[in-house]
Structure 1
């Protein structure tokens, strides 16, 4: 829930004391630190499938299948983008892969396990409830000698199980807190500290979630301070190469975001998954821009940020703005 995320962010270690103390200090050069917040929620829609666009999707889906099958992860292979296997597939977007495809994979894996148990019960002449299924085959509980290899269970053409997940709307939420230092003379913006509190439901792979948030922060950081699409009078794009299109590099991203998870299960799906594809990116420009806005107001400038990216030229213009003047366009 958004409230739990904002509560966690405000009680984050050292925030209430050290951050607020630094926000009330102005250096001799006129640089002013300021904290600011941004939070939001998103909804996922309901297509039946999604295309894997990277190894992260394959790893997560393989983990879901392995957990429901009870097999080692290395025994699971994810096939994506094969129209002879997938009857219908939508694009990978809207932070819906874990939510929709993850639940579909869990349903299919559970159905496969049930089907293997049924096949084994016929071969072993035992009640399906008494059959244990594993990656090497099946045996009767309490009688391991009564077993059948997996190769003898699966038909020659393979075992195909098709399941459809009918999704309902689910939400992911989070809160971002930024502490920035602004130099009104040079227009430089220095992000001193950044905290992300996120609620991504039941995490399939916490390491991948952290990587998604770190990468998303880098994207949002670029949107806030560097990246801009500029066209000349003839409509030609002036940022066609990285010599002209500025992106942040490692030195600019020195303030590694601090991550904290506040997990609340999503009730719109059996697995409790939520999307995290956009949680690290979308709030970053808003949090940094609001922090810059607050820093300038604390410096006595009555202007507000209304245009991105916050290049040094734009920040200097904001700092030089007369009272109650809006810089930039809405």
Structure 2
């Protein structure tokens, strides 16, 4: 039998060309293209009084300059609101080029096309804009105060307010034996992939056809937007996604202004046009995420069991809301994690600020929700003097309670029902992996050496495989090669490998015979996109179903050629054969020939197909109701999202004097259902943890009161290097298959980053508890300098802490003088 591929650690087929520098990204294409540059607002909030482009028109090498006044029809309308919601009563989106007003630094005002980027940039500098300055609204405190408005017609800067509740949380909290309240803060960060956004467009005047290559996570969405905005037939627009150097969410938004302006210019000029975003542009004109202020009220019993949970939070959505309320809705529902408070109320306001828009970034609202819940669990444990793991365990949904209905509405508009899982077993695995029960001994040994160690824990549940659908097309060529196409895009997830494993398993062909194409609307014109940990669940399931159709058709054709029953046939190593009689077989490539509407005969002796008739009047060219060709297409649409889960633990060492934070160990236990390729999942977790380390300890978007981003470069944006990311991340898996899709899959792409803020806050607070007074970590990310300041603030409020600190400093100084 063919070696089973599903679940095997197959090396990624993509890696060879990437390692050899043979990847093909947008900027590697279009050597003959003109180049575009964008004039971006230097102000956070201002009215545009006048735009003078006269200084640009005579610049040698400039081909065109566009402002809002040059846009017509649908192009002159605001960009689409991609995901409307009834609660989003004041949704606002930007124009492709600013009309009358700019609402954040970096907003596009004018678009220049020239022979090369250098000329285009010089021309941009010659455009003169007259502004009437308006006071900016920067940060959630200013947005909530509403002394100034981002949009004149949006009262209180409130884009939306949404409440969901189950039971009566306020009453349950009031009646609880114990009550706590927490105020928490989590700051902005951003995706910052290695490759910024990029778009190349070619217009064929003769055919009236537009071809666009763009670095996107949703090629079909970009295609639809270009067709609608430029007034083109959908069938006359091709969008191809080449290799993409990372997405992490920022490339979901469709369309970006440049994805419309580049094809608009290409059509107007009759020449290919290309735009490649530079790093500063990415910081000030793409998308950010994360920023929330949270208030938690919780009631619990003597065991730490949740009796009531009441959460309010305020979400900074930036200047516009193209992606609706997806991020805060995910926060509000995924906050529940693996727990069952029964009485739960959550209320959020999504607020406008004069800053870059906020759209999903890897984790997409979940890190904020996990942060709120896990900080609450730690606070309950500290209050009761209980083990943090025990407090979590007493609140877990139990394995026999699945499917578990939270009686809320999830991001996909469907019920928040967890399909499967085993949270107690996840915790047991994590405790064993990190050495939870022995940590106090490790801590004491370190303390004897003057070292300060802390252990953190965080649990999460992640809704994955969100709909509405994905599709797949599979075609077996006469050579026996199997061509697979699915519409979602690839940004490094290993789709070419994992999807080929699914096909090889279902179709019974060698793995090497399968070739996978993603993100090309010429091959698969209908798709949704790659985000929300959905690719394996959605496209994987669609590919599995399409492969099954091809298999069934191959068996039908082979049964006729071999004069055997379909039930007696099997496909092994790319050939259909009679069970128990391997010599009686026919290759899939030959079956592909036989599926042609031309009349063929099968020669059993040679195993070949020979044409004998172009049209046999006595027999239809193909079976009734069957299409020609050995191919199959299918779509998968889920009943609802499936829910993965996991738990992370980290041991940190913190310098008693400088507050420098070092990661000693990092452990992950994850349940994403059945694993297609454990090695790829492990890579996803490693990458997510690295990104989470950055988000928890280093990265933030630092705005001043004027709305200027002060660290909009990699010189100023602090990020972890390989020296800061744990080297040997310890990983274990639990596989509880999802009953909602044919492969039992759950998503894995975002898991590594989701609990990072929570787990580091837990570990840092645990390390700092050597000081009396219970220093609390309530704001993330936290850098050594911020932890140092937090310590100082804490000590000033607790004199006994300061006395203990002085004793330690004296002891440390004496030790340095006399190490013996």
How does the TM-score come out when normalised to structure 2? 0.38
C-alpha change, 1:145 and 1:26, in structure 2 (3 Å) is: closer
d(CA) in 2 for partners of 1:29, 1:316: 21
For 2:669 and 2:510, how far apart are their aligned partners in 1?
32
**1:83-98 equivalence runs, <5 A:** 83-98=521-536
Residue of structure 2 equivalent to 1:6: 427
Residues 201, 266 of structure 1: 8 Å contact kept = yes
**Residue of structure 2 equivalent to 1:80:** 518
Indicate which of 411, 419, 437 corresponds to 1:16: 437
Aligned residue in 2 for 1:48: 469
Contact 1:302 1:321 in 2 (8 A): no
Alpha carbons 2:509, 2:574 under 8 Å: kept: no
- In the TM superposition, residue 183 of structure 1 has moved relative to its aligned partner by 2.3
Check if 1:180 corresponds to 2:652. Answer: yes
Paired position in structure 2 for 1:320: 792
Q: CA deviation at 1:152?
A: 2.9
The runs of 4+ residues in structure 1 deviating greater than 4 Å are 28-31
Residues 324, 70 of structure 1: alpha-carbon distance in 2 compared, 3 angstrom cutoff: farther
Query: Partner of 2:636 in structure 1?
Result: 165
Q: Is the aligned partner of 1:295 residue 2:756?
A: no
Q: How does 1:1-330 map to 2 (within 5 A)?
A: 1-12=422-433, 14-17=435-438, 19-24=439-444, 27=447, 31-44=451-464, 45-49=466-470, 50-54=488-492, 56-154=494-592, 155-156=595-596, 158-168=629-639, 169-322=641-794
Task: Tell me if the contact between 2:591 and 2:630 (Cα under 8 Å) persists in the aligned partners.
Answer: no
* CA shift for structure 1 position 135: 4.6
Deviation at 1:144, TM superposition (A): 4.0
Whole-angstrom CA distance in 2 between matches of 1:13 and 1:229:
33
In structure 2, relative to structure 1, the CA distance for the partners of 1:119 and 1:216 (3 Å cut) is same
| 1:296-322, Cα deviation, whole Å (9 max, x unpaired) | 223224332122221122101121223
For residues 324 and 64 of structure 1, the distance between their equivalents in structure 2, rounded to whole angstroms, comes to 61
RMSD: 2.2
* Alpha-carbon shift at residue 224 of structure 1 (Å): 1.0
Q: Distance in 1 between matches of 2:543 and 2:786?
A: 48
Farther off after superposition, 27-36 or 76-85: 27-36
Q: 1:112 to 1:298 in 2, by over 3 A?
A: same
Corresponding residue of 2:8: none
Of the structure 1 ranges 286-295 and 254-263, higher mean CA displacement relative to structure 2 is found in: 254-263
* CA radius of gyration, larger in: 2
Question: Residues 103 and 54 of structure 1: is their aligned pair in 2 closer, same or farther, counting only changes over 3 Å?
Answer: same
Pair 248,211 (structure 1): closer, same or farther in 2 beyond 3 Å: same
Distance 1:104 1:216 in 2: 26
- Output the CA distance in 2 between the equivalents of 1:65 and 1:240: 44
Cα distance change of structure 1 residues 87 and 236 upon mapping to structure 2, 3 Å threshold = same
Corresponding residue for residue 186 of structure 2: none
Structure with more of its chain in strand, by fraction: 2
Query: Please, which moves more after superposition, 116-125 or 50-59?
Result: 50-59
Return the offset for 1:158.
Answer: 3.7
Deviation for aligned residue 1:145: 4.4
Distance 1:55 1:253, change over 3 A: closer
Whole-angstrom distance in 1 between the partners of 2:726 and 2:519: 38
Moved more, 123-132 or 146-155: 146-155
Q: Distance in 2 between matches of 1:111 and 1:224?
A: 46
Give the Cα separation in 1 of the matches to 2:635 and 2:752: 30
TM-score (norm 1): 0.90
In the alignment, structure 1 segments of 5+ residues that lack a partner are 326-330
Separation in structure 2 between the aligned mates of residue 59 and residue 301 of structure 1, nearest angstrom? 53
State which drifts further: 290-299 or 109-118: 290-299
CA distance in 2, matches of 1:245, 1:224: 14
Residues 711 and 717, structure 2, Cα contact 8 Å, conserved in 1: yes
Higher relative contact order (CA 8 A, sep 6+): 1
Separation in 2, partners of 1:213, 1:200: 11
Residues 137 and 10 of structure 1: is their aligned pair in 2 closer, same or farther, counting only changes over 3 Å? closer
Residue-by-residue CA offset, 1:148-201 (whole Å, 9 max, x unaligned): 343331134742211222313311111111111222421211121111111121
